[in-house]
Amino acid sequence: MTATDPAAPLAGQSALVLGAGVAGLAAATALCRHGAQVSLLEQAGQITEVGAGLQISPNGARVLQVLGIDPETAGDRSDAVELRDSAGRLVTRLALPQAGPGFYLCHRADLIEVLATAARAAGTQVQLLQQVQDIALSRQGARITTAVGAVHEAPLVLGADGLRSPLRTRLNGKSEPFFTGQVAWRALIPGDGGPRVAQVFMGPGRHLVSYPLRGGALRNIVAVQERRSWAAEGWNHPDDPAALKAAFAGFSGPVPGWLDRVEEVFLWGLFRHPVAEHWHDGAGRAALLGDAAHPTLPFMAQGANLALEDAWCLARSLARRPQNPAGALESYARARAPRTAKVVAAATANARNYHLRGPLAQAAHGILRAANRLAPSLALRRYDWIYEHDVTA
């Protein structure tokens, strides 16, 4: 169904979406496909993304498919995940399914591009240079004022505008994140034609993740280190490649060669943000999704996947109760809050698992190696509750 189909469940209804990231673009597309008229406000001058990699797992791939997007237009299907120690020795290899919705290695900019194309094709009206300055909620709906004085009104506003979402603050007040004692570097280097495998190299108090992008033309690197010195939050703080090399000087295998090729690197501090207590306003005028509702650390690679799940669930809930938006948003929040909180907790725990030291690391790696020989699919099945979850069913 499209926004022009009078039989669509949300025909004649309108919504404002704040933010042209994964959550906002997917939500706009889903709402349009249920018949709504959607305007999307983005503060940037163009819909684009910084260079970085991300992973789409089956739970997110299913949403892309139902939105009419082939996941392979956004990235390359991944064959496996390998956990290795800091010397480069294999600890365990998780072969990934090649039938049905799978796992994909994506350049973030490529995913944003296919989502933006789908949103516009579905009928979304995208408005750029719209930095939100004020949000007023009334019985009539939402009134958004931007930094240049433009005013936008709609019965419903959706905050998909990330960590610093003004709508999150409007619904929950200000929250203070805390520094986890971990920092992360990210870098892209020329590709080396390696296999379509995500590799995790684990060392004491640090780990490094790498995988190929764009058919092997690029290689994505994310490296995390525990340390006391604070680093600013955000994706775009340049750092010296020598600092990254020094932090991982004890690593072997392909890691030294990769780091020798890093010419530009960005550093950011990892902060824990609470899952929002209030996902909607109670009157059917406003709701949150994506990072605005549940920021997560990157250690389960679920940020984009949860955003896709949110987008479909929110649109479907509204479509099921077109005359009761308050009930629809309450149903959406009840369905999403427990799951997202559980995934956020799993991501936090994974960081500890990657950073074990001394005898504890040796014992854990020995157990993983033995389990891989005896039941090679067991480690992946442990996370079936994440990957096999199907919000489109």
Written as one letter, the residue type at 209 is V
**Contact status, residue 130 vs residue 146, Cβ threshold 8 Å:** yes
Helices 22-33 and 108-122 pack at an angle, to 10 degrees, of: 20
Distance in angstroms (rounded) separating the CA atoms of residues 357 and 286: 46
Residue 345 main-chain phi, psi, to 5 deg: -65, -40
Give Cα 26 to chain centroid, integer Å: 12
Nearest to residue 61, comparing CAs of 103, 33, 14?
A: 103
Give the span between the Cα atoms of 332 and 318, in whole angstroms: 8
Q: Write the CA distances from 305 to 22, 121, 133, 319, 343, integer angstroms.
A: 9, 22, 29, 21, 11
Using alpha carbons only, give the angle 285, 291, 297 rounded to the nearest 5 degrees: 155
Tell me, yes or no, if 387 is annotated catalytic. Answer: no
Does residue 194 contact residue 323 with C-beta atoms inside 8 Å?
no
Amino acid at 206: R
- Containing H/E element for 219? strand 218-226
Residue 279 contacts residue 337 (beta carbons within 8 Å): yes
Contact assessment for residue 280 and residue 287, using Cβ atoms and an 8 Å cutoff: yes
Residues 284-298: b if buried by 16+ CB within 10 A, e if exposed? bbbbbbbbbbbbbbb
Check if the beta carbon of residue 271 is closer than 8 Å to that of residue 298. no
Query: Which of these is catalytic: 104, 211, 332, 387?
Result: 211
| Pairing status of strand 104-107 against strand 53-56 | antiparallel
Q: How far apart are CA 227 and CA 100, in angstroms?
A: 41
Alpha carbons 387 and 101: distance in angstroms, whole number: 10
The set of catalytic residues is 211
